[in-house]
Structures are given as C-alpha cells and as structure tokens.
Amino acid sequence: MKSTLRNIFHSPRFVVGFVIFMAMVLTVLIYPYFVPRDPLVSIGKGFLAPGTYLSVYDANNTSTYRIDLPEAAANRMGSLLTAEDRKTMLDFLTVMGADTEGLDLSDDSVNDLIALWKSSYDEENVRTSKYEGFSTKAQRNKLKRLDTKLSGSDSAGAMTVVSGEGDAAESRAVADTDYVKVNEVANALNLPLGTDNFGRDMLTELVSATGTSLIIGLIAGTIATLLGLLVGLLAGYVGGLLDDILMFIANIFTVIPGFVLLILIYYSVGQEARGVTTCAIVIGLTSWVWTARSVRSQVISLRNRDHVNLSKLSGHSLFRIIITDILPYIASYVVMAFILQVSSGILAEAQLSLLGLGPKTTVVPTLGLMMNWAKLFGAYTSSNAWWAYFPVILVIALTSFSLNLMNTGLDQVFNPTLRD
C-alpha cells in the first residue's frame, strides 16, 4: 500500500493533475472565509466588466493628494470620447465639408479632432442646413449632446462638487490634479471577473458553483461506480441467467444513450423535485453502464484463477470470495473508473443545465447554470461579456483535465505495459 502510494506520487502526470485538482478544492473551501458574501446576491446592474470599482461619493469625501501628471489632460480627453463618438464627429465634419485630412479615430488625433469640431460646429447651422445623415431631430440632438460633453471638459480645474440640496456653503472645488488613494476610499470593490447579467460578483459565484458542481460529480460518480461495481461483480462472478438479465438491462441503457435517458428521466421527476441532489442522483443512475461492463469482463477473467477456486473449495461464502479474492485485483481499476465518472458527472450536469434542463435552484449556482444564464442573457452575442462564460468553460475544462491527468497517471502505475 505504502509503496503503491509512493509510485503514484512519482508519476508526473498524476502529480500535476492532483495539484490542479487540490488547488481548486482548496480555493472552494477557503475562499468563503475571505469573501463571506452570498454568491447569488445582486450587487450591480447588468454585466460589469472586470476591474476595480470606486465609490464616487466616497472618493469625493476622501482626502486628496496633488499629483502633476504631464499626460493627464490627453488621457482625460481620450477616455471622454468613445470610439462611436469619434466616428460621429468625423462623419459630421466630413459631411459638413471641413478639412478632415489626416484625422482618424486614434488617440493621437483626438486633440485635432476636438479643435476642428469647436471651430466648425454651430447648432443654428445644423438645424437650418439639414446635412445628409443629420437631418432628423434625434440625430441633431446627438450632436448637441456631444458638443455639451466637449465644452464640459474644457473648464478644467473649475469642477465644483455640491453636497446636499445645492447648498453652496458646503460645496468645494476639485482641481484636475487632485488624486485619492484607492485603499483610503471607504467603498472600493475589486471585481476580478466582473459581474454577470444579474449583477452578481462572478468570482464569488464561480467559486461557489465549482463547489456545487464538484459535489454533483462526487455524488454521481459514487453512485455510478458502486452500482456499476455491484452489477459487474454479480454478472461476472455468478454468470448464467443473472448475467443475461443484468447485461440486458445494461444494453437498454446503451441503446437509449445515457444523455437522452438522463433528459427524459430528469424531466419526469417534476419541476419541484429537480434540485441539485436529484440531478446528481439521476446522473449517477444513468451512467453506471460502462463501469459495469468493464468490471464484468475483468471478473470473468479472474473467476477461474486458482486462488478463487481454492476459496470455493474451502467453502467460503460468495460475499467473502468477492471481497477477499476478487476485489483487490480490480481495486485499482475501480479507482480509475471512479475518477472518470466524477469528471463525466460534472460534464453531464453542465450539458443538462446549458439546455435549460438542469437543477431548479435559487440557492446555489452550478457551473452549468452559469453557462445557461450567460447564453440566455446574450453574453456571447449582444453583450459580448467574455467574463460571464469563459472562466466557467475554463474551470470545467481544468476540472476534467486534472481528473483525466490523474487517471492516465494511475493507468501508467498500475499497467506496466503502458509505461514509457
């Protein structure tokens, strides 16, 4: 036993897989102590991109420091105008007939663009001339808003913050060289993975979902392995009619593919009962077949060995023969099958949930539900919010990658013929 363990931990593949897997398990266990927030509580509104968010209110009430950054003005202009704004400005100036030679949408030409705009834009003129593409009221208003935005940025150093109901006595001026220190602002929130469509912190949600999905995988894997082991042992060792009947059941599970059966059974359970545990149990009940088949074929090759025959002659019970004479020979195989079953259980839940057939729960997220939400609320297409689905796919891939690595590592240790 000790030497087997030492061999296993000398296999580089197993060790890499084990480290990745344990790192994920530890993160799931430890993270809630650092961020004790409920993973499903909405803190924002809609998809927020990853980054650090500062409370504007608190930042105004934090003591300021003076920093003179030479490129500050250019940065300010650059961030003020979105690419769409710049395109509108350029289009308008071109239609108007201004000299836009050498101007583009990059940050380099933004100052020239603004200067040209200021010399050319005239509200009266736009209304009377009805330029092509800017003739409706909505389009003219868009230009007007842009102009207001630009003139607002002009008055650098004269921004005034007024608190309360516009009481001038409590106002104070903010200079463009005033800075606040991030960790002195009372409310600053770091969202490394942004938020999802409901405005929930993605990282907290993802960690919690990983935990739930691992539990689903463990329950499904345990059920599938135990059931497969039991069926395989009985069918293989007892043989005869029992073998025929058990293999007949296994065949039915093969001809109606597990995934289809899973959907049908899971749907039949009914809306209320479709919790996380039920989901895991149904996955386990539909995926035992190939474990049973492999165990059966190994048991068939074992049952006529001398030591088994000797046990039979000594009058040992069926139970004892299976436990002491057969199980030890297939134990390594069963461990490997269990690892693969855990991995495919996690995947099965994710696929079910993606199709909208997953656990009905409002208490805990799962990896599949997160994928489903991302799909339903257009994270791939309209919002293009990569942070809402890519980390989830990565976690699923990493989980099965680490489990598969552990499996191949074990395979090399237990099957000398596979060694390099």
Partner 1 sequence: MSKGMRKYFKKKIFWFVITFIAAVILNFILPRLMPGDPVNAIVGKSVSPGASQEQIQEQIAFYKQQFGLDKSIFGQFFDFVKNAVNGTFGVSYSQYPRTVSDIIGSGIWWTIALQLPAILVGWILGNVLGALAAYLRKAFDKVLMPVSLFFSAIPAFGMAVILLVIFAVNLKVAPVNGAYDAGLIPKFTPSFIANVIWHYQLPFWSIVLISIGGQAVGMRSMSIYELNADYVKYARFLGIKDRRIVRYVFRNAMLPQVTGLAMSIGSMVGGALVAETIFSYPGLGMAMYNAIVSSDYPVISATTLIITIMVLLASFTLDIIYAFIDPRVKAAQFD
Contact residues: partner 1, CB under 8 A:
244, 247-248, 251-252, 254-257, 259-261, 263-265, 267-268, 270-271, 347, 350-351, 354-357, 371, 375, 380-381, 384, 386, 389-390, 393, 396-401, 404-405, 408, 411, 415, 417-418, 420
Of the pair 156, 256, the CB lying nearest partner 1 is at 256
Of the pair 115, 273, the CB lying nearest partner 1 is at 273
- Closest contact distance (angstroms) between CB of 345 and partner 1 is 13
- Closest contact distance (angstroms) between CB of 160 and partner 1 is 42
- Closest contact distance (angstroms) between CB of 244 and partner 1 is 8
- Closest contact distance (angstroms) between CB of 142 and partner 1 is 25
Of the pair 62, 213, the CB lying nearest partner 1 is at 213
Crossing angle between the packed helical segments 258-268 and 327-354, to the nearest 10 degrees:
60
- Closest contact distance (angstroms) between CB of 294 and partner 1 is 12
- Closest contact distance (angstroms) between CB of 263 and partner 1 is 6
Q: State the burial class of residue 194 (Cβ atoms within 10 Å of its Cβ: 0-12, 13-18, 19+).
A: buried
Of the pair 53, 386, the CB lying nearest partner 1 is at 386
Question: How far out from the chain centre does Cα 394 lie?
Answer: 7
Q: What distance in Å separates the CA atoms of residue 356 and residue 72, rounded to the nearest whole number?
A: 49
**Largest pairwise CA distance in the chain:** 109
Of the pair 198, 390, the CB lying nearest partner 1 is at 390
Cα–Cα–Cα angle for 154, 158, 163, rounded to 5 degrees: 125
Of the pair 131, 259, the CB lying nearest partner 1 is at 259
Of the pair 185, 196, the CB lying nearest partner 1 is at 196
Of the pair 152, 257, the CB lying nearest partner 1 is at 257
What are 274's two structure tokens? 């479709």
Residues 6+ apart with CB under 8 A from 351: 259, 368
- Closest contact distance (angstroms) between CB of 100 and partner 1 is 26
Of the pair 310, 397, the CB lying nearest partner 1 is at 397
- Closest contact distance (angstroms) between CB of 20 and partner 1 is 11
Of the pair 64, 404, the CB lying nearest partner 1 is at 404
Backbone φ and ψ for 178, nearest 5 degrees, come out as -85, 135
Token pair 């049952």 in the structure block, residue = 303
- Closest contact distance (angstroms) between CB of 22 and partner 1 is 17
Residue 416, classed as helix, strand or coil, is helix
- Closest contact distance (angstroms) between CB of 344 and partner 1 is 10
